[in-house]
Amino acid sequence: MNKKKYFIILIGIFLYVLILLGQDGLPIEETNIISGVGYDIEKKSEGIIEYILPLSINVYKLNGKISNVTLEEKGENIGEVIQNRQEKLNKKVTQGQERVVLISEKYARFGVKNIIEDRFRNVEINDMAFIAVCRGETEKYFKMKVKGYNSSAEYIEGLIESSHTHNFFSENYKLIDMYVRIDAEGKTLVLPYIEMSKEGIEIAGMTIFKEDKMVKAINLDEAKILNLLKESNVKGVVSLKRSPKEYVDFDANTGKRKVKCYKEGEKYSFVIDLNLTGNIISNEMYTDLTKDIKKRKKFEEDMAKSIEEQCYDFIKIMQNQYKIDCIDLGKEAAAKFGRRKKVDWNRVVSNAEIKVNVKVKVEAQGRGDF
């Protein structure tokens, strides 16, 4: 081995030692690993609020086993909660491995601005943790035992992550996405809404925010259409039904959502183009759909018309009841006509003319009809 190789090895060893110096390394058995963080509040009286922040903590044993405990602490502010919690911990808390941040519906309606401040300022936390709003108290979700998982936080993480494969949910439900959306012009924060049922923890719909406050929870049927109008390159199943015995289920992928924006005076108008391609997964309505091109074209037209009608129904509710631009049309208008003009995009979109064009294309039909 020549001198050059010896020199490179010595430099490598030196850098390795240098990196280790000053590191506060501890065996994993001597630390508490946070897997989930909860945010909840309780109103004690007028103007007085108690903050409740449960943690889902993984405890590693010397025998290699992992147990999970839920630690809840209360205080008049988030800083006080953290201080009170430290007095009860027998091990150092390790951050950066959080899988999920769970916000109670009560807290979300109160406002999530201080959650953003708390998480964003902390350089040790995991910005890629998934985030969701839950019905009821967050502690109950972390205490729930889920078969096959070390903690319910791990299960909730997988639940939100896999939602991208159905109901046209996006992949952008992480802490870092919330940072970006909360103050972005023309964008509205929407988050998954989870609840407990007899079967366990499940996604029940979506929550819609106005600035940093949640204003509405919608069910899965509404969430599916919201996501269709809002997102690009998402997946889901849409159904065409005439009766309980006459229906077609279509497993669809959306391409790039295209939005055109026009302005005449102070009046805005938008055109949303949606293209859905996919496979028929069940057919109890059209005979000879696999063989007859005309029948297939008829199905594509009927499905497109059905989706358009559902989109218009949602837009009507959005404009007249929610009065919130929850499908991010303001972002498109701001990009075209200029940003930072102090335009109230919720008001603009609520009074705009919105047209939806849907095209459906069947790529495959499985094995065909039985």
Q: Mind listing the pLDDT tens digit for each residue in 263-308?
A: 888 889 999 999 999 998 888 887 877 777 888 899 899 999 999 9
User: What is the rounded distance in angstroms from the CA atom of residue 6 to the CA atom of residue 12?
Assistant: 10
Residue ranges, CATH 3.30.300.210, the chain:
232-370
Q: What is the mean pLDDT of the chain?
A: 85
Output the pTM of the full model. Answer: 0.85
- Band (pLDDT 50/70/90 cuts) for residue 369 is low
Instruction: Catalogue the long-range contacts made by 160-165 (C-beta closer than 8 Å, 24 or more residues apart).
Output: 160/100, 160/130, 160/132, 160/192, 160/203, 161/130, 163/192, 163/203, 164/234, 164/235, 165/235
What's the mean pLDDT in 196-206? 91
The dihedral built from the CA positions of residue 14, 18, 21 and 27, taken in this order, carries a sign that is negative
Return d(Cα 183, Cα 309) in angstroms, integer.
Answer: 32
Where is pLDDT greater, at 254 or 341?
254
pLDDT of residue 216: 94
Residue 36: burial class (beta carbons within 10 Å; 0-12, 13-18, 19+):
buried
Among 79, 169, 161, residue whose Cα is nearest residue 128: 161
What confidence category does residue 6 fall into, taking pLDDT thresholds of 50, 70 and 90?
low
* Cβ atoms of 38 and 102 closer than 8 Å: yes
Domain 232-370: top CATH class: alpha beta
Q: What per-residue confidence (pLDDT) applies to 276? A: 93
Question: What span, in angstroms and rounded, lies between the C-alpha atoms of 309 and 274?
Answer: 13
Amino acid at 148: G
Residue 45 CA, distance from chain mean position: 32
Q: How confident is the model at residue 7 (pLDDT cuts 50, 70, 90)?
A: low
